[in-house]
Every structure is written in structure tokens, then in C-alpha cells.
């Protein structure tokens, strides 16, 4: 099994490094990664919409979300302007840049609501409809955002905790890859709410595979009671699997989010489950929501978040989803 683990891990780290290089090459100054017109070639454009995320270079989750947004933009004749930055202050600057560009709508993640509040207020004051996506389910309504698309992260954590209970987990290590991200903190808190065993949180740096590997390995070497490791992002899962092997631990692995590596890991038994929030659906629905609002004053959700997850994906479901995972849409 170790041979397959290492092959899987090499693939995961290689993909992380390759994606990081692409994203870094696309950066334009300190404001972050600037995207292109996703609706180009789709016919006459009627609206200009900014999609602004807190994406970390190398996180394949955002590639899936962006594909959904691009599909909705192409369908509706929308010029989609994508940009991202994991730093809250710089992400806020990207929102202000979108305002200056005269966009017709903004779709934004609110992983760090306090850092984003002022810029979102400027957008709403300018009459630009704002929709939040993925992160910010506890903050969007107070910020004047029209609707939120994503999963309730506490509920998602609850689902993971209940699944661990089914598996008989005694001690779970919850790995947070971005300190200060309210959604990730809520996931671990949700696990702890329903988990009958013990849980501990450790923090790693999402863009640094070496840091992820060494931190998890060291923890497993010093605490042999840990029987499950939970990563909160798909790119971290293969690295954690290698750490488990290097530490000589008998712990098993689960993760949040899907990508080809996770699907393969579920299929070959390296992962026990994954929590899927359907990022393609988040991106598609949020961009579609801007079009609906601008063309017919529709607002989805009725004042409640529009939930896209969680769904617990088990090894026996991996084959069913493999086609879509390989297409980059799950």
C-alpha cells in the first residue's frame, strides 16, 4: 500500500506545485491573481460580473468552483472577471477595484468578514448587487449581501463527526490549512459537537507542502492515540496520507472536498470518506443569481443561505462520481 500512497502523494504535490506556478505567473502586483474574460467567444455580453475569492495558489477546489462560474457566465453572456487573494486586506482591495471597473455585480467569498466589510459596504452603496459564496454563511446577511451560496460549515462538521462515530473513532486530528478562516474553524467545531471521541486541531500552511507534511508527521509521532486524520481541503489529503505512513501511524484519513486524487484515494481504500460541498454548483448558482437579479429582480434563498452541501462521499460512491471528478466539475 505504501507504494501506491507515495505515487498518489507525488501526484498530489506535483499538481499543487504546478497550479501554484500557474497562479503565481498570473499575478499582477500585490492585489492578487487577475482572471480573464470567461465569457469570451460566447456571443454578445450583456453584464460584467466580478468573482473574487480567497483562493490559495494550488488549491484545486477553486478550479472546480471557477468552472461552474464560467459555465453560467457563458450561458448568460456575462463577462466574468476573476481575481483572488488569500489575504483579507488584499482581497478587499480587489472588491474595490471591481467597483472602480463599473461591474454589474460582485460574487465574493467572505472567509475573513471583518476584513471584507468595508469594501462590501462600498459596493452596496454604489448600487452594485453583491452575492457571497463558499465562506461567510454567518456574516453575509448583516453585510447587506443579497444571498449566500455554500454549505453550512458547522453542519458539515457535524456530518463528519457523525461519520467518525459510525467508524468508531476515538481520537481525531483536525488539520486547518488557513488560520483565521472562519469556515475552517467552524468545520472543526462542528466535528467536535457530534464526535463521541476526542478531537484536536493543528494548523498548517496551505501553500507549503513541506510544512503540512512535517507538522502532521510530528504530531502523529508524538501521539499514537490518534486513529483518524481529517484534512479540510482536497490538496492536503495526499500529503497527510504520506505523513501517516512516515510516522508509522495506523491512523486512517478523511477529508473535505473532492478532486481526482481524493476520488482515487476513496476508490483504493486510502480514504474512508470525503465531505463534498459541490463547488461547481456554488460558482454556477452565484453567477446565475446575478443574472436573475439584474434581468428580473429575483433573489434566491428567501433570506436563508442556499445550501450546496454537505454530502458524505464514501468509497462505494467513488466510481459513480469518477466521470465528473475527472472532468473537473466535482
**What's the count of helices (H) and strands (E) in the chain, helices before strands?**
11, 13
pLDDT per residue rounded down to tens, the chain (330 residues): 434 444 444 444 444 444 443 333 333 333 344 444 444 444 566 899 999 999 988 778 899 999 999 999 999 999 999 999 999 999 999 999 999 999 999 999 999 999 999 999 999 999 999 999 999 888 999 999 999 999 999 999 999 999 999 999 999 999 999 888 888 999 999 999 999 999 999 999 988 999 999 999 999 999 999 999 999 999 999 999 999 999 999 999 999 999 999 999 999 999 999 999 999 999 999 999 999 999 999 999 999 999 999 999 999 988 888 889 888 898
Instruction: Establish if 272 belongs to a structural domain.
Output: yes
Helix, strand or coil, per DSSP, at residue 215: helix
pTM above 0.85, yes or no: no
Closest CA to 61 of 234, 195, 232: 234
Indicate the burial class of 304 (C-beta count within 10 angstroms; 0-12, 13-18, 19 or more).
Answer: exposed
Give 313's DSSP letter. Answer: E
Q: Do 143 and 23 sit in the same domain of this protein?
A: yes
Q: What does the pLDDT read at residue 45?
A: 67
Q: Do 77 and 188 sit in the same domain of this protein?
A: no
Instruction: Establish if 132 belongs to a structural domain.
Output: yes
Instruction: Provide the domain limits for residue 118.
Output: 12-152+278-309
Q: Do 137 and 284 sit in the same domain of this protein?
A: yes
Calpha distance 111→137 (Å, rounded): 9
Give the other-Cβ count within 10 Å of 214's Cβ: 14
Instruction: Establish if 1 belongs to a structural domain.
Output: no
Q: Do 295 and 165 sit in the same domain of this protein?
A: no
Q: Do 115 and 261 sit in the same domain of this protein?
A: no
Calpha distance 140→70 (Å, rounded): 23
Angle at 276 between CA 146 and CA 177, to 5 degrees: 85
- φ, ψ dihedrals at 109, nearest 5°: -90, 150
Q: Which three cell numbers stand for residue 185?
A: 474553524
Here the CATH number for the domain that contains residue 191 is 3.40.50.2300
Q: Do 105 and 120 sit in the same domain of this protein?
A: yes
Q: Do 147 and 289 sit in the same domain of this protein?
A: yes
Q: Do 261 and 160 sit in the same domain of this protein?
A: yes
The tally of domains found in the chain comes to: 2
Amino acid at each position: 500500500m505504501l507504494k501506491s500512497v507515495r505515487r498518489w502523494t507525488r501526484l498530489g504535490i506535483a499538481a499543487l506545485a504546478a497550479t501554484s506556478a500557474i497562479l503565481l505567473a498570473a499575478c499582477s502586483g500585490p492585489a492578487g491573481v487577475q482572471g480573464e474574460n470567461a465569457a469570451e467567444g460566447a456571443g454578445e455580453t450583456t453584464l460584467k460580473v466580478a468573482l473574487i475569492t480567497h483562493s490559495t495558489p494550488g488549491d484545486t477546489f477553486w478550479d472546480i468552483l471557477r468552472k461552474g462560474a464560467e459555465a453560467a457566465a457563458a450561458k448568460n453572456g456575462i463577462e466574468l472577471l476573476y481575481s483572488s487573494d488569500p489575504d483579507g486586506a488584499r482581497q478587499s482591495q480587489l472588491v474595490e477595484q471591481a467597483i472602480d471597473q463599473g461591474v454589474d455585480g460582485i460574487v465574493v467569498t467572505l472567509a475573513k468578514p471583518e476584513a471584507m466589510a468595508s469594501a462590501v459596504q462600498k459596493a452596496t452603496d454604489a448600487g452594485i448587487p453583491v452575492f457571497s459564496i463558499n465562506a461567510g454563511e454567518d456574516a453575509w446577511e448583516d453585510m447587506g449581501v443579497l444571498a449566500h451560496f455554500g454549505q453550512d460549515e458547522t453542519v458539515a462538521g457535524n456530518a463528519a463527526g457523525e461519520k467518525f462515530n459510525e467508524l468508531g473513532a476515538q481520537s481525531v486530528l483536525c488539520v486547518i490549512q488557513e488560520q483565521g478562516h472562519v469556515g475552517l474553524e467552524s468545520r472543526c467545531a462542528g466535528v467536535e459537537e457530534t464526535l463521541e471521541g476526542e478531537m484536536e486541531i493543528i494548523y498548517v500552511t496551505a501553500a507549503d507542502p513541506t510544512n503540512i507534511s512535517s507538522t502532521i508527521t510530528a504530531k502523529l509521532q508524538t501521539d499514537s492515540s490518534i486513529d483518524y486524520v481529517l484534512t479540510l481541503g482536497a490538496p492536503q489529503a495526499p500529503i497527510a496520507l504520506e505523513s501517516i505512513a512516515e510516522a508509522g501511524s495506523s491512523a486512517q484519513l478523511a477529508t473535505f472536498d473532492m478532486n481526482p486524487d481524493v476520488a482515487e484515494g476513496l476508490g483504493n481504500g486510502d480514504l474512508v470518506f470525503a465531505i463534498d460541498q459541490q463547488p461547481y454548483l456554488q460558482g454556477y448558482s452565484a453567477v446565475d443569481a446575478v443574472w436573475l437579479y439584474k434581468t428580473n429582480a429575483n433573489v434566491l434563498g428567501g433570506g436563508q443561505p442556499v445550501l450546496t452541501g454537505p454530502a458524505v462521499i464514501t468509497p462505494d460512491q467513488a466510481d459513480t462520481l469518477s466521470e465528473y471528478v475527472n472532468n473537473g466539475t466535482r
